Amino acid sequence: MESELRYTYLPSSLHIFESVPSTNQTLWRLLKDGADKNSVVIATQQTSGRGQWGREWISPTGGLYLSVGVVPKLEAADSYRLTLASAWGIAAQLRQCGISVGIKWPNDLVLEGRKLGGILTETKVNNGQITQAVIGVGINWANPVPETGINLQSWQDSQPHQAISGLEMLTKTVLVGIQSGIDCLSQEGISVLLSKYLDLLTNIGEQVYIDNLLGTVVGVTTRGNLHISFDIKELNDIKMPEIYLEPGTISLGYRKSSVLF
Ligand code: BTN
């Protein structure tokens, strides 16, 4: 009985739209108009989907586009934990369905080395504390994808077993995943969550060039920064055995080698 309850997700308020500019934007508007702080917005398509770092998230019919309201007890400086928690939770739920999804730092869900989905967390802050967060998730289900992307329906068609029967089941799986990630963060803490996130991170051991120096990805910090260590111990008398990069300062790309922006 307990495990059945654990895997049931009943959003307090569910808003479903045919087409919106962005489910994140729509949820912020609903919240402003007094909607429940844990509301969920789902749309069939988005006309101005928002991606990370101000990019556009192309959102034709066939994909999953949803946003979830969360009120975490978190300082603004720790807001990236919500993205780490959601990425881990969603990947872990899909893996329970036999879909071997990994995480590409910081917020990409990957399948067979290609992008399956992404997460965009937005926050409102007062006195250094998050007062409201909106976690937006886009997953490629049956929508067309670029060369570096993959859609789950086509991938499943090539498998002997189709664990996800359609967009509705994918929606439920993603909502349960977000909930389990946030529960893990709030109940078990960032150290436990981070070790689970790192278990699914595809970048560990990856070699990256930073200013022409070859480094290796060795981890991610509790604030979501990428930890890179260098083989050389000294450079022009400056010791630089390791660095920490904030999300958005480097693109690991979908190739083996990486470049600094
Ligand atoms: C990324 O750049 O990888 C993050 C993409 C996040 C896209 C989702 S789709 C639902 C929600 N609404 C938005 O406008 N963006 C997020």
CB-based contacts of 186: which residues, under 8 Å, 6+ apart? 72, 73
Q: Provide φ and ψ at 59, rounded to 5°.
A: -135, 65
Q: Is the pLDDT of residue 261 over 50?
A: no
| Two structure tokens written together for 157 | 């068609």
pLDDT digits (tens, 9 = 90+) for 171-188: 999 999 999 999 999 999
Q: What pLDDT is stored for residue 18 in this prediction?
A: 98
CB of 138 shorter than 6 A to ligand 1: yes
Average pLDDT over residues 57-64: 98
pLDDT digits (tens, 9 = 90+) for 127-150: 999 999 999 999 999 999 999 999
Q: What pLDDT is stored for residue 78 in this prediction?
A: 96
15 CA to centre of ligand 1 in angstroms: 17
Count how many residues are written for the chain.
261
CB of 49 shorter than 6 A to ligand 1: yes
Mutation test of ligand 1: which of 52, 83, 137, 150 has the most ligand atoms closer than 8 Å to its C-beta? 137
121 CA to centre of ligand 1 in angstroms: 8
Average pLDDT over residues 47-68: 97
| Burial track 218-255 (b if 16+ CB lie within 10 A, e otherwise) | ebbeeebbbbbebeeeeeeeeebeebebebeebebebe
Q: What percent of the chain has pLDDT over 70?
A: 89
Nearest atom (ligand 1) to Cα of 63: 9
CB of 247 shorter than 6 A to ligand 1: no
Mutation test of ligand 1: which of 65, 82, 145 has the most ligand atoms closer than 8 Å to its C-beta? 65
Element (H, E) at 117: strand 114-126
Q: Provide φ and ψ at 151, rounded to 5°.
A: -110, 140
CB of 24 shorter than 6 A to ligand 1: yes
CB of 27 shorter than 6 A to ligand 1: no
| Distance from chain centroid for Cα 54 | 15
Q: How far apart are CA 176 and CA 180, in angstroms?
A: 6
CB of 39 shorter than 6 A to ligand 1: no
Q: How far apart are CA 24 and CA 139, in angstroms?
A: 14
117 CA to centre of ligand 1 in angstroms: 8
Confidence of residue 4 (pLDDT cuts 50, 70, 90): very low
Nearest to 20, CA basis, from 69, 67, 87: 67
Ligand 1, atom 7, lies closest to the CA of 138
Confidence of residue 109 (pLDDT cuts 50, 70, 90): very high
Specify whether the CB–CB gap between 135 and 42 falls below 8 A: no
Ligand 1, atom 10, lies closest to the CA of 65
Nearest to 134, CA basis, from 46, 71, 56: 71
| Two structure tokens written together for 170 | 């994918």
Nearest atom (ligand 1) to Cα of 51: 2
CB of 132 shorter than 6 A to ligand 1: no
Q: What is the mean pLDDT of the chain?
A: 90
Verdict on whether the full-model pTM lies above 0.85: yes
Confidence of residue 8 (pLDDT cuts 50, 70, 90): low
| Two structure tokens written together for 172 | 């439920």
Q: Is the pLDDT of residue 170 over 80?
A: yes
Confidence of residue 6 (pLDDT cuts 50, 70, 90): very low
Confidence of residue 2 (pLDDT cuts 50, 70, 90): very low
pLDDT digits (tens, 9 = 90+) for 218-240: 999 999 999 999 876 555 655 66
Q: First vs last Cα of the chain: how many Å apart? A: 50
pLDDT digits (tens, 9 = 90+) for 62-103: 999 999 999 999 999 999 999 999 999 999 999 999 999 999
Q: What pLDDT is stored for residue 211 in this prediction?
A: 82
Q: How far apart are CA 128 and CA 252, in angstroms?
A: 30
